[in-house]
Structure 1
Amino acid sequence: MILYRLCKCVYADDLSGNGARLYGGRWNSEGRAMLYTASSRSLAVLEALVHLSPTNMPDDFCMLTIEAPDDYTILDVETLPKDWREYPEKQILKQTGNNFLKEAKHLLLQVPSALVSEEFNYLLNPMHPNASSVKTISKRAFSFDERLLS
């Protein structure tokens, strides 16, 4: 399957999930490595955009196209609390992601985007035995359209 990730170019070659391990995220606690990817380039842009300041136009981002095996499980949205999309994120979401990492049954977990709930992000477990089969197939410099941050 093909996935996308938008990140600072300095981290583009790192698929270890180290950033999420250091800081945690919606679907993982600090100390738990997880790589966040998106099902489309446009969703990857939106997911990165919500973390940026409108006063600081970044010029050091890269769009990654990532190839991964079709080894994923789907999170049943009906099991989530009604307010799961809110920020800051609920602890139950982190527990869900942490359990996925711990069980290591699948390489990827498909979750709905909190920004566009009909679209999906894929959370990669870098400690899964098949993680070494995940490859970046392209890395391109990415420029944000100034209208997005104005």
Structure 2
Amino acid sequence: MRALIQRVTDATVRVGGDTIGQTGPGLLILVCAMHGDTEVEAETLAAKIARLRIFPDDSGKMNRALRDTGGGALVVSQFTLAADTSRGNRPGFSAAAPPSEGERLYRHFAHHLASLGIATETGRFGADMKVSLTNDGPVTIWLDTADR
């Protein structure tokens, strides 16, 4: 599974003008299930993100994890994280899990993150979403369970 995480002061996702998910201080997590991913990758990625020390301590050093801060997470499906641009200028997305599997793993990821004590809201899988955020830092980190 792949994720692009951004430390935010706030983030919102809208569908058709309606806000369907939001968070205050915490993380915006764009996530993509890849071919061959299972619940193990979803849970591994969620646990890693919950423990990742990218929030400042009292000295300003990145030494606190999301669950240490009480911050929330907005999880948005993003199949374009599977983009392959090696064969020209039009990206291919064949490395992404099929939609039904991708949605199942996306939901499993969000559920597992919530089970770790993180207040979690989501976007809507497959919808045309409008995501807005205020990046804090800015801090943006790429994670891929295949890199373990």
Alignment TM-score > 0.5, same fold = no
Higher relative contact order (CA 8 A, sep 6+): 2
- TM-score, normalised by the number of residues in structure 2: 0.25
Higher strand share: 2
